[in-house]
Amino acid sequence: MKTSPPPIYDPASFSREESIGYLISAVKARLVVALDAELDALGLTGAQFGTLMCITHDEAETAADICRLVGCDTGAMTRMLDRLEEKQLVSRERSNDDRRVIHIHPTALAGDITRQAFPAAVAVLNRHLAGFSRDEVETLKSLLRRMLANAS
């Protein structure tokens, strides 16, 4: 009979600062702040860049698709798409098959700006990974993928 390993965390000795959830959240928050600063010159935020990446890389074609990928609510995504449309980075088109569905399309300008923004995003990641070996980064990615698989 196979026994399960003991749980990692115990409520009696739990420390928020040592929680994987806290650490992942803190790293993400710092990545977002750094990316916002890097992209400011292009008139983009990190969240806008992430949304544009989903759209320009054909990973999503509706607001609901993008929400599933980036983990936000549809109201926030509607506001984000409004801002991107004002900047002429996306256009919206109602589906001919289902009038409730609105397809999001990148403009030519969106492709240009994501190509300009991409090196900044890479630089932010590289700064945050300073001192890590390639093997350590691959291990970190593997562990995070396992956590994602456990969540499914």
Per-residue pLDDT of 112-126, as tens digits, reads: 999 999 999 999 999
Q: Confirm whether 1 is domain-assigned.
A: no
Q: Confirm whether 65 is domain-assigned.
A: yes
pTM: predicted TM-score of the whole model, two decimal places: 0.83
Q: Confirm whether 63 is domain-assigned.
A: yes
Query: HEC string of the chain?
Result: CCCCCCCCCCCCCCCHHHCHHHHHHHHHHHHHHHHHHHHHHHCCCHHHHHHHHHHHCCCCCEHHHHHHHHCCCHHHHHHHHHHHHHCCCEEEEECCCCCCCEEEEECHHHHHHHHHHHHHHHHHHHHHCCCCCHHHHHHHHHHHHHHHHHHC
Q: Confirm whether 24 is domain-assigned.
A: no
Domain count, the chain: 1
Q: What pLDDT is stored for residue 70 in this prediction? A: 85
pLDDT interval class at 85 (50, 70, 90): very high
pLDDT above 90 (res 3)? no
Q: Using one digit for the tens of pLDDT, what is the confidence trace for 49-83? A: 999 999 998 888 899 999 988 888 888 999 999 99
Q: What pLDDT is stored for residue 95 in this prediction? A: 86
CATH code where residue 46 lies: 1.10.10.10
Q: Confirm whether 8 is domain-assigned.
A: no
Q: Confirm whether 14 is domain-assigned.
A: no
Q: Confirm whether 18 is domain-assigned.
A: no
Q: What pLDDT is stored for residue 152 in this prediction? A: 86
Spatial contact of 70 and 54, defined as CB atoms under 8 Å apart: yes
Q: What pLDDT is stored for residue 4 in this prediction? A: 83
Of 44, 56, 24, the residue nearest 121 (C-alpha):
44
**What is the domain range of residue 50?**
35-151
